[in-house]
Amino acid sequence: EKGGYDYFMLKEIAEQPKAVADTLLGRIDASGSLTLDEVRISASELREVDKVVIVACGTAFHAGMIAKYAIEHWTRIPCEVELASEFRYRDPILDGRSLVIAISQSGETMDTLMALRHAREQGSKVLAICNTNGSTIPRESDAVLYTHAGPEVAVASTKAFLTQLVACYLVALYLGQVRGTKWGDEIGAVIRDLSHISGEVERVLETMEPVRALARSLADKNTVLFLGRHVGYPVALEGALKLKELAYMHAEGFAAGELKHGPIALIEDDLPVVVVVPSPRGRSVLHDKIVSNIQEIRARGARTIVIAEEGDEAVVPYADHLIRIPATPTLLQPLVATVPLQVFACELATARGNEVDQPRNLAKSVTVE
């Protein structure tokens, strides 16, 4: 049932191009418009929405962080994202014009369920993004957009994460379409790029051998840091989470701009630091800033592992290890940038003799608060 792979996680990483394509299937029509009929919240209600609030846990929370960038950029609706376990305890401000999005692979995560119940009690509409048909979270929501990742068996989430991202982009674009905001050339181009993205994920998977070799060479390290900016920041957090849960290593993700406010003190000789570099096209300010961050940490001894777009030459002099990913629009980059981090964590866990599919102390769905 592992389809020839040693672990479910390897199989599920390999299934990502299909999972992404399946989640897009039937949702973009020939004219490039979105048809999300499943989202049973009327267009007039969606036009009234004045705030989007995303609740989720763990990896799904990282998808939510990325969704915030997309929703605010494409729709100009203010968007908050919060850990489900924190959400209802701070008496959040919600009403009938708030759209709450609950993201959950299993559909059974208790913290996320309690957060959505709280939101509905305040009169907010809840849209679930979920991978498990008929599970509790979609049953208790006003509407659901299913991710079509197929069953995810490995405890560490991989293909579900990529499909959560796709679903978040679809919701963001759909909100933009319904409300007529920013529905110009940029959105059309994004939809085109999204419809080709599964091929790009496939290309990333074909180039992972050096990442595996690198991971094996770091098996006796104690700490790995991850840095990113903009949507690369949640990707850095996700890379760190995968490494913690699989390799049982101290791993932390930081917003690269925060380095100088404390974390740079952690940098020491030969400390591996993975840096997710935004596209040099588009928001080039971000790119320039992260190149200086890479220089800063390298000058202090860090061993830099740089994930950068093909054709990005500016990073080459400062990268001890360079992992190439295909060029994508900035907001979509997490779909390709996360894949090497999954492979990295999986291989490091294997090299350290850990049980990849069933890490210690973890359960696939967390049905207690």
Active site residues: 364
Compute the distance between CA of residue 226 and CA of residue 276 in angstroms, rounded to an integer: 8
Chain centroid to Cα 242, Å, comes to 12
Is 46 in contact with 171 (CB distance < 8 Å)? no
Identify which of residues 13 and 190 has a Cβ nearer to ligand F6R in the complex.
13
Instruction: Note the residues at the interface with ligand F6R (CB under 6 A).
Output: 57-60, 104-106, 109, 112, 156-157, 241, 245, 365-366
Region label for 51, one of left (φ > 0), alpha (ψ between -120 and 50) or beta (otherwise): beta
Question: At its nearest, how many Å lie between ligand F6R and the CB of residue 365?
Answer: 5
Identify which of residues 46 and 137 has a Cβ nearer to ligand F6R in the complex.
137
Question: At its nearest, how many Å lie between ligand F6R and the CB of residue 112?
Answer: 5
- State the pairing for strand pair 125-130/223-228: unpaired
From residue 101, alpha-carbon distances to 156, 303, 313 in Å are 22, 39, 39
Question: At its nearest, how many Å lie between ligand F6R and the CB of residue 110?
Answer: 9
Identify which of residues 11 and 287 has a Cβ nearer to ligand F6R in the complex.
11
From residue 334, alpha-carbon distances to 51, 85, 216, 255, 311 in Å are 24, 24, 24, 15, 18
Question: At its nearest, how many Å lie between ligand F6R and the CB of residue 240?
Answer: 11
Residues 87-101: b if buried by 16+ CB within 10 A, e if exposed: bbeeebebeeebbbb
Strand-pair partners of 34: 28
Compute the distance between CA of residue 188 and CA of residue 192 in angstroms, rounded to an integer: 6
Identify which of residues 171 and 297 has a Cβ nearer to ligand F6R in the complex.
171
Identify which of residues 75 and 136 has a Cβ nearer to ligand F6R in the complex.
136
Closest residue to ligand F6R, judged by C-beta, is 58
Question: At its nearest, how many Å lie between ligand F6R and the CB of residue 66?
Answer: 14
Identify which of residues 153 and 314 has a Cβ nearer to ligand F6R in the complex.
153
Question: At its nearest, how many Å lie between ligand F6R and the CB of residue 359?
Answer: 9
DSSP string, 25-48: TTTB-TTS-B--TT--S-HHHHHH
Question: At its nearest, how many Å lie between ligand F6R and the CB of residue 61?
Answer: 7
Residue 126's nearest CA partner among 162, 93, 155, 102 is 102
| Three-state secondary structure call for residue 128 | strand
Identify which of residues 9 and 36 has a Cβ nearer to ligand F6R in the complex.
9
* R_g over Cα of the chain: 20
Residue 318's nearest CA partner among 330, 300, 333, 334 is 300
- Interacting residues of 293 by C-beta distance below 8 A, sequence separation 6+: 227, 256, 257, 259, 275
